[in-house]
Amino acid sequence: MTAKVLAERYEVQRQLGKQTGRQTLLARDLQTQELVVIKQLFLGSDFEWQDLKLFEREAETLKALSHSAIPRYLDYLEIDEPDNKGFALVQTYVEGKNLEDHLRSGRTFSESEVKQLAKSLLEILIYLHEQNLPVIHRDLKPSNILLHSRSGHSVGQVYLIDFGSVQNQAAKFGGTITVVGTYGYMAPEQFGGRSVPASDLYGLGATLIYLVTGLHPTELPQQDLRIQFADRAAHLNPDVIDWLEWMTEPSLDKRLSSAEEALRSLKNPRPTDKIMALQPQCSDIKLTQTSELIKIIIPPQGVGFGLIAIFAGWIPANLKLLLEFVDGRTYPVLNLISIIWLVTVLAMFICALFRESCLRIDRQKISYTSHLLGLKWNNSMPIPRQDICQLEIEEIGDKASQMIVRAGNQKYRLGVKQGLSKSEIEWLATEVSQWLGLKIIRTLTDGKKKISM
């Protein structure tokens, strides 16, 4: 079968991709014998003039760019054949496999590789954003990033492709704004038709989150438009997690503003309020953390002075009644009261010696349970994890505090009642804060009044 030749020059080898009104072909340039990529836009029933505008803008953009990690413009064709009318953009062929395909095949990326990839892509973005008319890619995602020649611990050569959604500063002021991009990788401002260099940073951040979690950004929970991924990236250095959160900050005012700044911050992490708290000495609390859950087990409090005082006060007050009860000389009601008091005090002793408390947060829910001699019961009703909305440390006077996790209308408290010290509360709150990705809110209780700190 004779291979199809376009413009009497480009011999089609195979189809690389296809979507409505478009296709991408791998071809051989018969003049240079080099492989090239041909992107075609068809003039069919689904044709829209906005599509042609973006297609021509991609061609003009590539013509003006010269970077080893970006496909090079070669030719632009008008195709007028009986069964094929439209336009074609010819560009250099980049050999490699895109990140989406790597992930689908089961490849994982180490922290070192993620940082190498981020560095290479930021250098490409610096080049694009520093053009006389800054070029904003607007569709930075795994399928538009190619890797080639991976070796050892090197991620290999990184390429950024598909400039079909590109916007430059001239186009920005050209009238109608078209919303383009891919859901999950689009910065919030793009939904309103606004794109700035920091929009590409959001796309890069969301792409890297996909790499470290194995989940598309739309598969991860969100809180106030922030992607909640930290619990699935526990293997990363906290500085890298903080940097990714900064890259994907929904608010433009709070996001990293330029690729240069992002690269500097990757190399030199910003100081954060994430304190690496250590477990206080002499603390018997058991803390378990994985990507799936965080679990805090509080051991039995033991018999304290208050309980001893209650028991010591009970004995002289009730010893005479007990002796009279043995001789049958007391009233039944008094005997019953005395026995109830005895059972209550003994129960308090047993709980103090053997009851454990457990606060557990996993992907599904938050729960707070007690465990005593093989028995288990809920101290508070379990609540879905997505309802967790606030983490608080409440200072109670100078010597006591408690940690409060708010989920819906429920409050889960750890503090004085569990025999926890202020240093243990600080440690636990810091760990829970980092695992949930929630900032600690501090309040002060002065009598009946609660004051934000």
User: Annotated catalytic sites, by residue?
Assistant: 139
Rounded CA gap, 369 and 360, in Å?
A: 8
Distance CA(27)–CA(326), nearest Å, equals 105
Cα–Cα nearest to 122, from 229, 213, 226, 198:
198
β pairing state of 293-298 and 286-289: antiparallel
Tokens of 317: 């007050």
The residues near 282 (Cβ < 8 Å, ≥ 6 apart) are none
Q: Using CA atoms, how far apart are residues 109 and 150, in angstroms rounded to an integer?
A: 12
Six token digits for residue 19: 């979507």
Tell me which H or E stretch contains 369.
strand 365-372
Residue 446 CA to residue 236 CA, distance in Å, equals 40
From the list 453, 351, 352, 349, the residue with the least C-alpha distance to 395 is 453
Q: Which residues contact 385 (CB under 8 A, 6 or more apart)?
A: 361, 362, 363, 364, 365, 366, 407
DSSP SS3 for 346:
helix
3-state secondary structure of 401: strand
Residue 154 tokens read as 């090197």
